[in-house]
Chain A
Amino acid sequence: MDKLQNEIRTALEQAGREHCGFPEVSWFLKTMAQAFSTETLINEKPSLIVLGEDIPRELALALADHPRFILGGSLETTHWSDALLPRDADPVSRSACGWLLNDKFGLAENAIVVMALSSDNRRKLASLLRGNGIRVAAADMPPRYDTSEAREAWTAEMLRLADTVSAHTRIRLSARRLKAAIRQREQVREAAIDFENIAWQATDSMSPALRDIIMESAWYAPDRKEWACHLRALTAQISTWIRQYYHQPDERPWVLLAGSPIVFPNEKLPNLLEASGLYLADRADPITLQTDIPCADTGHSVPGMLRRTADLRVRMETSGSWISNDGLLSAVQCRLEHLPVSGIVWHVLKGQIEYDFELPRVEALAAEYGVPVIRLETDYQQQDVEQLRIRLEAFAEMLRIRNQERIRIAQ
């Protein structure tokens, strides 16, 4: 437990040092620290735990007053599940398993765990959790998204899931609750979009790792409305700071980090990019891209709203559960068009083979834009940090030379 607390504290302290004194930042860091504190982990007995990002957040918020989201991310929790999972299981599943099955705290004691069966790891994890006495409601995900049948299947699965969860939480999924949850999520989304736009402009305002932690804190904040208010306040503070001070143009090569998700407290790659002289302009991974997915704005019934959600999500979702992850590809393309990105870092967490399969398509797309791609395979361990640093420094060097060459030719 001490090691887990140490891991979280280190990640927060490191991120907390790297900003230009915005008072509002401390609220987000406190929220994260609170969400992962020993006291919370031991005493919190949520009725609903949502594993991963594939289940719409608004649905989870409508089904329970305080759902707990588990996204993975912790090295220490992966150690706790070492004996339970095969060697090649991906670190996200390992970590999620560690959060739920350990002898330190019982997050899942009173909870029903909700997850989408979007990969081999998830399917078998669901079985493992059930085998260990945890109540699990799992939604089967269709492998295609481009047919009306697939959207109907997705909607039907979500309705089925809602029924199972409602029976446990004793909260009926009504249109009113779902609408309220949609409004909450939309507030979070709007605030997040404004913050991201400002953060892009002010590259020296805070480190990318801190920016990501602030965004990720939305999953753990007890009150989403309050979170949105604080984020707006922070956005306003950054805007003021931009206006008040002179900012030298950032000459570091901008890179896009795409592929497998980066989850707190595993901020290894954002920190490494920073240390290698690269600026992490944006991320394109299933967790970050949740912000891009709009909420269902119409509908008066639960099935109607879920159907609309299906339409919106399946078009933009970047889950590995799809046969072809076009959502992720179009997100990368969108960022290549709108940001002055010099390179792409394609991040593959060990065992997440679905992202490895997408690499050739990303490389082909990046080639059209003349942007080089580097593939980094890693897990939550720290042993490979130096190898990764050497590779990233070489990549940064190459990008700098390319950028200088481009400027020289332009002149």
Chain B
Amino acid sequence: MNENLNITPMNSAQVRQQERFDRKGTAVAEKMLRQIRELSHMPETLNPFLETLESIFSRREDALRPAGVPTVGTYCVMVPPEMIYAQGAMPVKLCSGSYTAFGIGNDISPRDACPLVKAVMGFEEIDAMPVYQNCSLMAVPVTCDCKKKLAGWLQKRRPTAVLHIPANRDQDEDMESFVGELYRFSETLEQVTGIPLTYKSLADACCMTADAQYQLSRFINLRRKHPLIIRGSFSMSVMNALSYTWLPDWTKQLSDLNDELENLAKQKEMAVKENQPRILLTGSPVIFPNFKIPLLIESMGGLLAADETCMGERGFYDPPAIVDRTVDGMLRALSNRATRPCTCPTFADNQRRIYRIRQLIKDYRIQGVIYHVLRGCLVYDYEYRQLEEEMDRLGIPVIRVETDYNEEDVEQLRIRVEAFIELIKYGGNRS
């Protein structure tokens, strides 16, 4: 943690940036929310999730939580939320999809940095988002070069805990190294919250996440129905809302949504027609308000049946396998959970991502794959070739879509997505 924080008053450029953010920042979020709400067959119980996104990005409020609980900003799914809850804080995922913050970050970061990191730097620079500004600690796992440099940049401005993610994960030494990182992270958390990590608090937090994961598994089972019972954009909103919601509240909201979806399924009120092309979205994360691709797919007559991104179910689905009921045992289980099943391309060998995608294709009866690459997100770009070869073997068409955080390429993307959907509809699927 950096103790000598460099906080300076805003200069005129920063004031101008903040004004620009005030004018445009909320407009994009509102537009995306409006587009989501305009999609047909929106379940009523989806509203709390959309309201969470609205309160954070449109009304610019802080994350709702019990009084006196500090927030810890996390920049990757590899930070175990159980530890943060156990030590008396609330995790908020701060990876950002804001176009306006990206524009501001663009001025202060290298041109080729990924838009996600630019947006984070932009938010940090303008000092206008309570969910960012009120964080007592930032936890940055070093998953790529940009995050690595972001960690260094944040360290100079905020209390920041840096977590080294091992590049390999198949050997015990790799796990040992990450367990060590978690112990150090726990010490840093204790400095912030004053609450040590105990067996009871960690067990309670694991139970809390287990409840949420149970509801998520119900939700995933419902998503697998054919035809779809809930649109992909709605599912992505649910998962994005998790980033800013107190976990028991999110669990309750998801339970209500599951109940409604089950009723709809019983009444055969499916969300879409049977013959629409079912598409899997994979690659760089899709983070609200950058819902450009999911909304394009669904507005062009495709079905976003499943997604394999870290802001989707992948980020929360896997439960820790706790066999040793001690603090150390639980930390090891969390460390295993965070890395071993993870399909993040930060790991040198990531064959399991291909297996995971094959499994998703089977479970969700996928007919086409859209590979989303954020400009500058090199690690995902590296894995495209391997996926393309695999999809070729399976006879599933795949396209690579490279985009940025702006709306200028929407029309080009629309043409490509439309052509891809037509390709699937009229015989492109050789499976």
- A residues contacting B by CB (< 8 A) are 84-89, 117, 119-121, 123-124, 126-128, 130-131, 138, 140, 142-144, 149, 153, 156, 160, 320-321, 323-324, 350-351, 353-354, 356-357, 359
Contacts and interface: CB of A to CB of B under 8 A. Distances in A.
A353 B385 contact: no
A126 B348 contact: yes
B186 to A, nearest CB: 14
Contact of A89 (B162, B167, B382): B382
Contacts of A160: 173
A120 B167 CA distance: 10
A329 B135 CA distance: 31
B110 A138 contact: no
Contact of B180 (A138, A149, A353): A149
Interface of B: 109-113, 142, 144-146, 148-149, 151-153, 155, 162, 164, 166-168, 173-174, 177, 180, 184, 345-350, 376, 378-379, 381-386
A192 to B, nearest CB: 30
Contacts of A324: 152, 155
B35 to A, nearest CB: 30
Contact of A119 (B145, B155, B173): B145
Given A88-B376, A323-B155, 12 more contacts: A86-B378, A86-B381, A86-B385, A89-B382, A120-B379, A126-B348, A140-B177, A351-B112, A356-B111, A356-B113, A357-B152, A359-B110
B145 A120 contact: yes
Contact of B348 (A85, A138, A350, A353): A138
B164 A354 contact: no
Give the one of B111, B142, B382 with max A CB within 10 A.
B382
Nearest to A321: B148
Contact of B148 (A87, A121, A354): A354
16 contacts: A86-B378, A121-B378, A123-B346, A123-B348, A124-B379, A126-B167, A127-B382, A140-B167, A140-B174, A142-B164, A323-B148, A323-B149, A351-B112, A354-B148, A357-B152, A359-B110
A350 B378 CA distance: 12
Given A323-B151, A354-B148, A143 B142 contact: yes
Nearest to B174: A140
Contacts of B177: 140, 153
A353 B151 contact: no
B145 A143 contact: no
A356 B349 contact: no
Nearest to B176: A156
Contacts of A320: 145
B382 A85 contact: yes
A350 B383 CA distance: 19
B164 A120 contact: no
B283 to A, nearest CB: 12
A86 B113 contact: no
Contacts of A85: 382
Contacts of B379: 120, 123-124
Contact of A86 (B149, B168, B184, B382): B382
Contacts of B155: 323-324
Nearest to B160: A323
A356 B112 CA distance: 9
Contacts of A353: 110, 112-113, 145-146, 149, 376
A140 B166 contact: yes
A84 B385 contact: yes
B153 to A, nearest CB: 8
B152 A88 contact: no
B350 A127 contact: yes
Given A84-B385, A86-B384, A127 B349 contact: yes
A359 B376 CA distance: 18
A127 B167 CA distance: 11
Nearest to A115: B348
